[in-house]
Chains A and B, each alone.
Chain A
Amino acid sequence: MPQPVGGFALKKRYSVFAIAREAARHHLGWERAWASPAPKAKYDAIIVGAGGHGLATAYYLGKNHGVRNVAIIEKGWLGGGNTGRNTTIIRSNYLQDPSAAIYEKSRSLYEGLSQDLNYNVMFSPRGVMMLAQTQHEIRGYQRTAYANKLQGVDTEFISPQRVKELCPIMDIDGPRYPVLGALWQPRGGTARHDAVAWGYARACSDMGMDIIQQCEVTAIHQSQGKVTGVSTTKGEISCDKLGVVVAGHSSVLAGMAGFRLPIESLALQALVSEPIKPCMDVVVMANTVHGYMSQSDKGEMVIGGGTDGFNNYTQRGSFHHIEETVRALVETFPMISRLKMLRQWGGIVDMTGDRSPIISKTPVGNIFVNCGWGTGGFKAIPGSGWAMAELMAKGEPGPLAAEFSMDRFRAGKFIDESVAAGVAH
């Protein structure tokens, strides 16, 4: 491994020439994508949680704000939480202005992310459609389409015939919930979730940041109302600023710092089928029957549904939710009825009362939280990191994060997407 020079490891860029060079020498020259150092005694900023949001926060802290004495500490392994457990859908067709702003920022960052990180995140803007299957949904999505026009988000409400053209395997005349139209975002799509985490990790490591895995935070220390450091399973680490970006475990970390969050942790499941020939080149979300599906590059049908209704930290969900999701999708996509499912998994999502995230200062000075992304965090990774980095660097939220303060629940200034966008994220 190359040694850091002036705080920056000299990583070789990935390129077609690198592939040719390595092919000529039996691929013996590939380096580890990121370093795994022991923690230092002190950092300017510590990010707890090396998932997509935590790594993106660190990356933009370095890139946009020049803060590079940063550690990202992770209880498990990098990208092993919800970043590695979602259905990789990227869209920004939200109703409320603050949501549309941050999700559209995020979607637009995804467009250039592979070039920016020099890591192929396989962003595939294949288009996302959200089916309208009731009169209520038609009105709701038409309203969203108008709102998106005003927000500069490229969406349109399309007819059932257009839905059928875009996704021929769909039965649009289902007996119970026929397809009455759809909200279509042609620039939405999917990306490779692991690559997003790995790409950010590699870029952070290149900037001289320390990614410390298998290091659990056990206590948060403060003095005179400000954070001073954390105790971890790898020792004490001091810091000037602390970013808590831990999704389902946000309440646990907040408890260590002595405050409560308006968050509940629930299990959300997804599943994939055996790989089949390409049959569907768009992402389809059906919020009335509650299921969403896309086809991965490997040919697997990637399926997600709704959360369980009870608090859970087990990363396992209830079987009947799988059954409900699949039952709903079989009616809309009759051809998947005999498809075998390969595997199923669960992640712990952090749900807020208005189903919008929290990017906020906290009652403790210099502790910042980024949580509450609930069932829809993957699409937001670059925008969330961008906004959180600005908040941590300046100590005050920028325009993207301003509305997502945790004080909004006290003030009644909700960003109510649970009603606006349907329950699925």
Chain B
Amino acid sequence: MLTFTCPYCGVHADETELAPGGEAHLKRFGPGSEDEAFEDYLFKRENPKGMHFERWRHAYGCGKWFLAARCTTTLEVFGTYPAQTTEPPQEIKDKISGKRPGWTWRLFS
């Protein structure tokens, strides 16, 4: 079973306590944007086979949204971090680089 440490309350929670929230670090587009940008924001996803960054909510705990780095082929979790960030912390990126040299995800590497 997937387990994550909530970066806010520090609880080590398994996935029954959490609600998945899809891909992280989406750039939001709204009214007035190009159709293509709006489509990308709403529907197009990285859907990588490998490293992924995604949103989770500690639904049956503190209730807050957080972000996580997880591999979709091994389900290994590389770390969690607060949602109020625009990119993963260097510490998590280094940890991923240690095990997955040469990884990239959108503009991050």
Which of the 9-residue segments A80-88, A140-148, A311-319 touches chain B?
A311-319
Q: Check: A264 CB closer than 8 A to any chain B CB.
A: yes
Interface string of B1-45 (1 = CB under 8 A from A): 110000000000001100110110000000000011001101111
Within 8 A of B (CB), among A138-183: none
**Is B74 among interface residues, defined by CB-CB distance under 8 A?**
yes
Asked if residues B44 and A261 are in contact (CB atoms below 8 Å), the reply is yes
Interface residues on A, range: 20 to 34
Residue in chain B with minimal CB distance to A249: B49
Q: Do residues B47 and A251 form an inter-chain contact, with CB atoms below 8 A?
A: yes
A410 touches B36 (CB 8 A): yes
A-B pairs with CB below 8 Å: how many? 67
Min CB distance B6 to A, Å, is 16
Establish whether residues B74 and A264, one from each chain, have CB atoms under 8 Å apart when the complex forms: no
Q: Which chain A residues lie closer than 8 Å to B16 at the CB level?
A: 320
Chain A residue at minimal CB-CB distance from B75 = A314
- A248, B78: Cα distance in complex, Å: 24
Picked from B19, B43, B46, B48, the residue with its CB within 8 Å of the CB of A309 is B19
* B109 interface residue per 8 A CB criterion: no
**Structural contact, B43 and A265, CB atoms closer than 8 A:** no
Query: A17 to chain B: which residues have CB within 8 Å?
Result: none
Known: A261-B44, A264-B45, A314-B74. A319 touches B1 (CB 8 A): yes
Q: Does B73 make an interface contact (CB < 8 A)?
A: yes
Q: Interface size class for chain B?
A: 20 to 34
CA distance A314 to B2 in the complex (A): 13
Which one of B2, B15, B35, B73 contacts A313 once the chains associate, using CB atoms below 8 Å? B73
B45 and A262 contacting across the interface, CB-CB below 8 Å:
yes
Structural contact, A410 and B35, CB atoms closer than 8 A: yes
- Are A313 and B72 within 8 A (Cβ)? yes
Q: Contact at A311–B52, with CB atoms within 8 Å? A: yes
Chain B residues with CB under 8 Å of A264's CB are: 22, 45, 47
Contact residues of A with B, CB < 8 Å?
249, 251-252, 260-265, 308-314, 316, 318-320, 352-353, 409-411
Q: Which residues of B contact A (CB under 8 A)?
A: 1-2, 15-16, 19-20, 22-23, 35-36, 39-40, 42-49, 52, 54, 70, 72-75
Q: What are 6 A-B pairs at a CB distance below 8 A?
A: A260-B44, A263-B47, A310-B70, A318-B2, A318-B15, A411-B35
